[in-house]
Structure 1
Amino acid sequence: MTIREIIFQATAQLEGAGIPSARLDAEVLLAFCLNSDRLELMKNPEKLLDNAEQTSFCAFIARRLRHEPVAYITGRKAFWSFTLEVNNDVLIPRPDTEVIVEEALAVLNAHPVDQPRILDIGTGSGAIALALASEVPGAQITATDISDMALAVAKKNALALGRDQQVTFLQGNLFTPAHGTFDLIVSNPPYISAGEYETLPAGVKDFEPRVALFAGKSGLEFYENLVYQAKDYLKEKGWLLLEIGGKQSREVRNLLEMTEFYDSIDVRADYAGLSRVIKGRRK
């Protein structure tokens, strides 16, 4: 079977299973199977696959037909300017999360600090912490997570990217393992409400870690804790940046305002126009 034929066949199977990105997924998985890239597939559509390659690819497609995310099948996900190792112990990094990295860099550029101390709460795969480490070489970064298994993934990514000396990973809930005060605190916390969780796509609900998604009945549980506790870990004029759900900006803004510990509160939209990051500065 040629590259063209097997992609056509796999795309039809995936479309039949209701997977909207069927063609893209088929191409990505075949490229991974062949240790190649999508461009090479397009350049060589008549290349024949041997039996071992066909068997391996069909196994990948079978997993995708069960709605397992492509990133978990390949074990990798592109984020910022690098590729991270991922598995089902960590949330798959989304392009939307790059917005909090952009906003953090904008804050540091507008309010320069020599060797800023940065805290990343709920680091997961290490995506945000490692992106900031790559852009702010002098930063001293601490990244926490409640999951030992997630931290194992994050540490492996840090080592692969040569950032293991710049980022310190600590296990514990929210601020529990953190020490001292920070110029910048960032977090992409769980923010899915109970009602929303039940309606998540199968590829999310059945495969990604519940602990990284579910945030109680209202979806605000972690924001309430982060906003109130962060004040004790921020330096004066330090910044708190939180990724938020597209419909949560009003509620999280209210939390920040009610504490009376923050000013310069503002919301940044993602590239789809949805509210994605809220920030506040410690008074």
Structure 2
Amino acid sequence: MAQARRELAERLREGGSESAALEARVLMEAVAGERDPDPFGRLDPDATARLEAFAARRLSGEPVFRIIGEREFWGLPFALSKATLEPRPDSETLVEAALDCIGDRRQEPFSVLDLGTGTGCLLISVLSECRAATGLGVDLSPDACETAQHNAVVNSVSERVSFVQGSWTTALDRRFDLILSNPPYIPTAEIATLDVSVRDHDPMLALDGGADGLAPYRIFARTLPDVLAPQGIVVLEIGAGQEQDVIALMTQGGFAWRGSRRDLGGHPRALIFGYALK
């Protein structure tokens, strides 16, 4: 298997992969059905055919974790589907920010709302750390809700969470202590310029944030006061260069900016808001 992995890594490297060795290992483990497969073992014909199919998909631009159908986030496994955004490590910044805000209340009961939940990675990660918390995930895609429910079962939080198909806060009639969202924030005109791994494989519903990328935040500024508890916290993911615009929109909606958190690249990624003091 070691030889097959080296050959695959070389093909991926020639195809332009910047992490060919890692991708080859991930694909090999998926084919072998185990982590760290025997380097001296041999792939049977069926496994060899699967590996070749995986290689062809990767060389066409499909992301490696899309190919294997799963990606780790916050140390937990999350199944992917065509209806869900692939979780990225930078989005873990939102989980960190939320847990920092919760502080010593981690073991107390509180409620979490995740808008545009996708795989459920943000909500499920917070619930995995806060064992008395309960959550609701909302997504416009019913297929995404189904994927998130599966992930809740896999990560042992299904008894404390539910997922519903819907448009943002429409039809919600309760308030939540913590609201999370990684909304679509790419300006429409920029989508065609994205890397093929994103443009052709992440769902458009999770990418297109309208003409300026700020459409969801305008909705949040207007509607979140109806679903946020009096002492509640909102944590939102943003794209590059959007920090001041989103702060301005949320401030106009009656919120106070409580700080920003930077991602692995040092860029503002998570914005924290609460109600403005009166």
Q: TM-score range by the shorter chain?
A: over 0.9
Paired position in structure 2 for 1:23: 21
Structure 2 counterparts to residues 269-280 of structure 1, below 5 A:
269-280=262-273
For residues 133 and 110 of structure 1, the distance between their equivalents in structure 2, rounded to whole angstroms, comes to: 15
Report how far residue 51 of structure 1 moved. 2.3
Shift in Å, 1:112? 7.0
Q: Which amino acid aligns with 2:11?
A: Q
Verify the 8 A CA contact 1:170 1:177 in the aligned structure 2.
no
Q: In structure 1, the residue corresponding to 2:6 is in which secondary structure?
A: helix
Could you tell me which residue of structure 2 aligns to residue 7 of structure 1?
Answer: 5
- Supply the distance in 2 between the matched residues of 1:207 and 1:180 (Cα, whole angstroms): 35
1:265 aligns with 2:258: yes
Partner of residue 121 from structure 1, selected from 115, 119, 122: 115
Q: Tell me the CA shift for residue 27 of structure 1.
A: 1.1
Letter in 2 for 1:233: V
2:202 maps to amino acid: E
Alignment of 1:150-189 (within 5 A): 150-189=144-183
Q: Distance in 1 between matches of 2:219 and 2:30?
A: 41
SS of equivalent residue, structure 1 residue 52: helix
Which residue type is aligned with residue 22 of structure 1?
A
Please tell me whether the aligned partners of residues 253 and 265 of structure 1 are also in contact (alpha carbons under 8 angstroms). no
Residue segments in structure 1 that go unaligned for 5+ positions in a row? none
> Separation in 2 of the partners of 1:86 and 1:154?
9
Residues 78 and 121, structure 2, Cα contact 8 Å, conserved in 1: yes
Moved over 4 A (4+): 110-113
Deviation, 1:110, is: 5.9
Identify the residue that residue 241 of structure 1 maps to in structure 2. 235
Out of 202, 220, 224, the residue aligned to residue 226 of structure 1 is 220
* CA apart distance, 1:78: 0.5
> Can you list the C-alpha shifts for 1:172-214, whole angstroms capped at 9, x where unaligned?
0000142211111110101111232111111111111000111
> Partners of 2:50 and 2:236 in 1: how far apart?
41
Residues paired across the two proteins, number: 276
TM-score (norm 1): 0.92
Please tell me whether the aligned partners of residues 193 and 215 of structure 1 are also in contact (alpha carbons under 8 angstroms).
Answer: yes
TM-fit CA distance, 1:142: 1.0
Question: Equivalent residues in 2 for 1:78-117 (5 A)?
Answer: 78-109=72-103, 114-117=108-111
Q: Tell me which amino acid in the other structure corresponds to 2:273.
A: G
Matched with 2:44 is: 50
Residues 13, 179 of structure 1: alpha-carbon distance in 2 compared, 3 angstrom cutoff:
same
Query: What is the deviation of 1:111?
Result: 6.6
Paired AA for residue 72 in structure 2: A
2:193 equivalent to 1:199: yes
Q: After superposition, what is the alpha-carbon deviation per residue over 1:34-70, rounded to whole angstroms, capped at 9, x for unaligned?
A: 0122xx25xx434332322221211111111111111
**Is this contact kept in 2: 1:125–1:153, CA < 8 A?**
yes
- What TM-score comes out, normalization by structure 2 length? 0.94
2:203 equivalent to 1:209: yes
Shift in alpha-carbon separation, 1:112–1:10, aligned structure 2, 3 A:
closer
Alpha-carbon distance between aligned partners in 1 of 2:227 and 2:21, rounded to the nearest angstrom:
47
Q: Deviations over 1:219-268 (max 9, x none)?
A: 11111111221111112121111011132111111112223x12243111
Shift of 1:282: 1.4
Stretch of structure 1 that moved more, 12-21 or 149-158: 12-21
